[in-house]
Every structure is written in C-alpha cells, then in structure tokens.
Structure 1
Amino acid sequence: MTRAPERRWSIRARVLTGMMLLVGLALLTAGTASFAVQRHELNERLDESLTRTVKEFEVLTDTGVDPRTMERFKHAEDLLYIAMQRTLPSPKQGMLSLVGDEVRWTAPDIVNTRLEDDPEFLEWARSVQDANHIRLGTVDTDITTYRAVVVPVSLPADHEHGAFVLAYDYSAEAIANDRNFMIYGAVGASVMLVAALAAWLVVGRMLDPIRRLQTTAQQISETDVSQRIEVSGNDEFAELTVTVNEMLDRLEGALSSQRQLLDDVGHELRTPVTIINGHLELMDPNDPDDVAQSRDIAMDELGRMSLLINDLVTLAKSNRTDFLQVEPAE
C-alpha cells in the first residue's frame, strides 16, 4: 500500500513566510537603529543644554555683581537667587537651589517639573553636592527619571556652601522619542500587511503555471496524453511550460509508436499461429506425407516467429545506453 505524502507548507506559504521574516527583520533593524540614534541625540541635546547653563552660571560666578550692592557676590545665597532669576527652564525642566542641606530657592510656579516634590531626587542632590566638583548624571526615582546637573557654590567670604540644581524630566523628554518609535512600529506593521497581501497575489500569479502543470498531469492517463499547458508570459515558468509540453509531445509520440508496434507485432504473430493451427486441424495423422508436410510448414512458421521475437528483443535493447559500441574507424 502506498503511503500518503505528509502535508507540507505550500511554496506560496514558504515564500511568503520567508519574505515576511526578511521584511520584519529589516524593519526591526532599521527601527532599532533609528531609536538608538534618536535616544543618543536626545541625551546629547539634554547634556548640551545643561552644560551651557553651567557655563553661564560659572560666568555669573566669576564676573557677575550683586545688583543690590553693585559689588561681587559675597554670599552663596545671593548668587543662587540671581542665577535662579536669570535662568528660564524649558517646559520639561526644573531647578532649585540648596544652601547646605536646605532647599532655599525653587523654580517659579509656572514650571511644571517640581524637583522639590521628589524626596528621592532631593536626597540624591544633597548626597552629591561637593565644593569642588560639578556632578552630571541620571537619577531614577519612583516618580520619574531625571537627567540632572549639580553645580556647587562656594564663595571665599561665605562659610555656607550651596548648590545650583538643574534637571530635565528625562522620561517626559523621551516620550516623544518613544511615540515616534511606536508610530514607526505601527507603520511597519501596516507595511508588512500590505507587503504580505501583495506577495500573496504576486507569488500566486507566479505559481499559476505550476498549478496548471499539476492539473494537466492529473488529467493525463495511459490512453490520453493529448493535454497541453497553455503558455503565458516569457519568464522561466513559461520556459518550463514549453519544456513540459515538448516532453508530453515526445511521450505521446512514444506511446503512439508503442501502440503501433504492438498492433504490428500482434498481426505478424497472429498469421503464423493461424497457419500452424489450420494445418494441424486439417492434418491426417494416419497419412505420413500429410504429417511431414504439416510439420515442415509448422517449422517454417515457427522460424518466422523466432526471427520476429529476436527483432523485438533487439528493438527493446536499442534503448539501452550500451547498445552501440563506438570504436574509431581505421
């Protein structure tokens, strides 16, 4: 009993799956690279803005004068107050001033990012303020993530140390970047769906000659090989269709020749058998001359049959590759 073939994926399904995997990988790679580049640019932009503000604060510290006394700043608290007045935070930026461990000045009420309302951030700012080092870093709290800078303030005439704290709400700044990535993902998914539909139609159209070949092969039987596949287009499938049609032509010719040969052989073998059978039926077994004559006729007809059988054997061997022994002629 012939075992039924196992069910496998169709060519269309395999081509479509491979194409979708390739397109998906390309979109994922491009999206990841774009996301990384945008996130890097965001980090650079925030750090550049914080660094620029720090430089402005250093210029104010080195060359600025107190508007009330028109002299150089003597108290860290006064310097921080003027610096806070001259600094305009961006929409997602907050600031405050520390004198010792106390929050002395905060941003105006119109500023949405309230650093003083985040205890974890304040704890970090107090822990990193140092009289000699500016600290730039990322702070994760339960409320959000900050990209912040802490600038220490220490004046020779003031025994109190302070710090100017400026921070971006990094999570809020990254939302736009994340939103762009989500839009990219949605567009990529839509592109994959459209590509899948287009590929399904295109591959189906490409495989149409294969389906016609399968249908034609199923219609071909031992007695009817006249079916042919319609040739359309001028691609590799069209060439395959022409090749299969030519093979069917050769097969039909071979089958026709085989049937003609069988008809001829049947006719040739039937004649001597009929002759032998007729003479044996009419032979008089008691007449030695009639027996001898019938014997001679039967031997002649059997000889003809033997020659015909030898010719058939030779014809069958003619299809073998070693039928002819080619040798160089002298």
Structure 2
Amino acid sequence: MPKNEDALTALMTLLRDDIEACNRVIMARMDSPVALIPQLAAHLIAAGGKRLRPLLAMAAARLCGYDPAGGRHVVLAACVEFIHTATLLHDDVVDESALRRGQASANALFGNQASVLVGDFLFARAFQLMIADGSLPVMAILSGATATIAEGEVLQLMTQNDIATTEAQYLEVIHGKTAALFAAAARLGAVVANRPAAEEEALDAFGRNLGVAFQLVDDALDYSADQAVLGKTVGDDFREGKISLPVLVAIARADEAELAFWRRTLEEGEQTADDFAEAQRLITCHGALAETFSRARDYGAAALAALEPFADSAEKRAMAAVVDYCIERAR
C-alpha cells in the first residue's frame, strides 16, 4: 500500500464501527420499490469511493467528544454522502463523463435521464434524514452547503471556455463546488456534540481549506495522473474547456503563440488529437503543476492550523494525517 494511503486506512480503522453503521443507513435509504433506483445505487456502491466527506463528519464528532452511542453523527454522515453522490450523478451528466472512480459512469450505463432523476431521489433522501434529525442548525448547514454546491457548478459553467477567467473566480468555483461540503461535514461534528461556536468555526475552516486543497490536487492530476490511478478520464477538464489553476498559471506565463493555442483549444473548442499532449507540455514547462501543488500545500497547512485548538487525540491525529493524504495522493 502506498504510504500516503496509510492515513486514510488509519482513519477508517478508527471509525470501523461507525462506517459499518453508516453503510447500513445508506443501503436502507437507497432502497425503493422502483427497481431502477436500487440498481443504479448498487452500481455506485460497487464503484467504490473512499467516502471521505462522511468520514470527516464522523471523525469530527468524535474529536468533539460526541458519544457515538447517540448515532446522530452516523445518520448525518450518510446524509452528507447522499448529497455528494447526487452531485456526482448530476455532474457526470453535465460533463458527459464516461468514467467515475475507474468504472463506467452511471449516465454511461443507465442514461442521462435516469442519472438525473436518481440524483434527485438522493437529494430528497438527504433532506428526509435532516428532517428526521430535527435540528434546525443541521438543516441550515446542509441545505446551505447544497445550495452553495449548485452555485459553484453554475459558476463553473459560466467560466468554462473563457481564458480571461481570473484566479479569484476560479477559487470561488472550487470553494462552492467542493469545499462547501467538506466544511459542512466537518462542522456537523461540533454541532452534534453541542460544542461552542468557536469549535464549529474551527472545524468549518478545517474542512473548507482541506476541500480547496483536495480540488487543487484534482485539477493538477487531470494533467499529470495515470488514468487508472485518477479513476476518471485524464484530460477531461481540457477537453471540456474547464479553466483550472494549472491552466491559469500557464496562461499567465504564456507568449503570444501559446495564448493562441489556449484560445483555440479552450475558448473556440477546436482540438486535435495532439493538443492535450501540448497542453501538458506547456503546463509542465511553465511550472504550473508545481505551483498548483504548492498552493494545495498552503491550504493544507491552513487546515492543520484550524485543528490546533483541539486537544490531542487519535481522531485529531487521524484527521491531520488525512490532510497529507489528500495532497499527496497519486504522487
């Protein structure tokens, strides 16, 4: 096992009982008399996924001293996973993705209509779980995160194919589409444990910074990773005209000929079979990958700093180690 996988394994071992309980909730709530829903859900479960966001919710609850016998952290972790999975189903339709976690995506197998509708079903299940929990602060956190995710995805659609996109706009996209759910998941831990607002804010900052770091690494890997490791088609962002930090750095350092290349391939969408390799070359020669990984490490450091107010514990050490995992994965 690669060393950077050890951190995630340690967290999963620490939370083994919680994970099993969370999986039971997920399986029970994915059931439906409409046969296609559990079929598509079973495909998603079989495709794997590390369930990092629900893991963070359960770890944060334990970090804050929540009694796991209460079970709220498990149900809310399942809620987080439903929201995340629903967004993945919708995103794959929008992006016309053929792969998800190294397997054929749900839309490739079942079609766009089924994927969108089952995504809607999972959102509805998430909100049923929130209502059953009965906490207005929980509902505010998760409903707010869900709206922010949608805003981030729409903003990404607006900046797609626009090489004049600013770094601030790009960061707004990833704060919305990725970091918001990381932040909400971590914050829930303090809420269920009835901890002070300062601890809620600290865990929110931990999750938010970790989420940005996670997405920065994802965006770098789209230009550098092995497809089998990444679990999705390498180069998808380029082919879809998405503007990410590696591209923005390369554009900022480009000469006129290189700018013309980015304009043709990303803005005008005129791409040849050799263009992705050229995009990789330009991103590498301008140090854009190194810059992106460096920024990810900065956000990772901010996530670690947010954990400082909490007393030393196995949960704190495991959560800190996951920061390194998120930044160093697939490297």
TM-score range for the pair, normalised by the shorter chain length: under 0.3
TM-score scaled to structure 2, two decimals?
0.19
Report the structure number with the largest CA radius of gyration. Answer: 1
TM-score scaled to structure 1, two decimals?
0.19
Q: Which has the higher helix share?
A: 2
Work out which structure has the larger RCO, using CA pairs closer than 8 Å and 6 or more positions apart in sequence.
Answer: 2
Q: Which has the higher strand share?
A: 1
